[in-house]
Amino acid sequence: MIQADDFPDDAQQSERTRATVMRYHYSWKDRDLDAVMALYHPDIQYHDFFQQRCMGFAELREYVRNNLPRQPGEALEHTDRIRIDGHTAFIQYRISLQGSGGLLAFRTGEAITVRDGLIWRIHEYATLMREAREQHAAGDSRPALSRLGLSARQLGLLAQDLEDYMQRAEAYLDPQLSLQQVAAATGYSRSQISHLLNQVLGQSFYRYINHKRLQHLLDRLEAGKDLQRIDDLAFAAGFNSLSAFYSCFRWHTGLSPKAYLKQTSLRARTHDKP
């Protein structure tokens, strides 16, 4: 077993570590799978504490393939500069997600240890941060764990794929839409989507879908519409009952549809005054 004491730091070690870690960083950015793999020591141990998983060299190729950026120039949001201390580099970044209650993010950190110009240890952590939520206390945070074979970054990609599908197909307009249909259309499993919604975004599948329906309605709502017209729009947006619509409306706006109409009409009249 290799120990850190087997290769003590010297005066130039921090710069050698920096050179290796920057090659690693740009290999990820360039989506160069072979270049990334070439920087791993044959005895590497990659500890992904989010998944409670430790991987060796043989397992890492598929893991890296699934986590590389999808588009040229795609970058994580780094929250601090890369810090180097002898054989170890510290990297911090965040992966942002948009939930129905506000912005969420995984705050992720990596401790990368370098030996002989190769990476032989990575410890990766992820903590879920709830940065804004109208109905709950802001700033709530807790450790996040995944036993579904998805890293924090893969969950971010899942959220992006789910959002892209909803916007492109407007699947929420179907009042009979099910989790199984969404899973089949996006290529993820029901368990993976359910985990993202319930454990990460903090909402059920039907609350997520009803929020999409409500946003669709609000985007098309004009000041001066009467209450009956809103009911018609609710059914057109995919709600299959007025009780579900009224409950969703109050949850997200804090108002009844009638009060919301009155408020928007008042704002419109105030805005039109010379």
Instruction: Give tens-digit pLDDT for 164-222.
Output: 999 999 999 999 999 999 999 999 999 999 988 988 888 899 999 999 999 999 888 76
CA neighbor of 126 nearest in space, from 154, 94, 98: 94
Q: Residue 192 class from Cβ within 10 Å (0-12 exposed, 13-18 middle, 19+ buried)?
A: buried
What is the sign of the dihedral through the CA atoms of 143, 150, 96 and 176?
negative
Do residues 99 and 203 lie in contact, with contact meaning Cβ atoms separated by under 8 Å?
Answer: yes
In this predicted model, what pLDDT tens digit does every residue of 139-161 receive, in sequence order? 444 444 555 678 888 888 898 89
Asked if residue 3 has pLDDT above 80, the reply is no
Separation of alpha carbons 56 and 233, rounded Å: 54
Question: Global pTM?
Answer: 0.73
| Domain ranges, ordered by start, for the chain | 4-149
Asked if residue 264 has pLDDT above 60, the reply is yes
Asked if residue 81 has pLDDT above 60, the reply is yes
Do residues 91 and 78 lie in contact, with contact meaning Cβ atoms separated by under 8 Å?
Answer: yes
Separation of alpha carbons 35 and 19, rounded Å: 14
Name the band, by pLDDT with cuts 50, 70 and 90, for residue 250.
Answer: very high
What CATH number matches the domain at 4-149, 3.40.50.300, 3.90.1170.50, 3.30.450.30, 3.10.450.50? 3.10.450.50
* pLDDT in the model for residue 152: 85
Residue predicted with more confidence, 36 or 2: 36
* pLDDT in the model for residue 75: 61
Asked if residue 269 has pLDDT above 60, the reply is no
Asked if residue 99 has pLDDT above 60, the reply is no
Residue type present at position 193: I
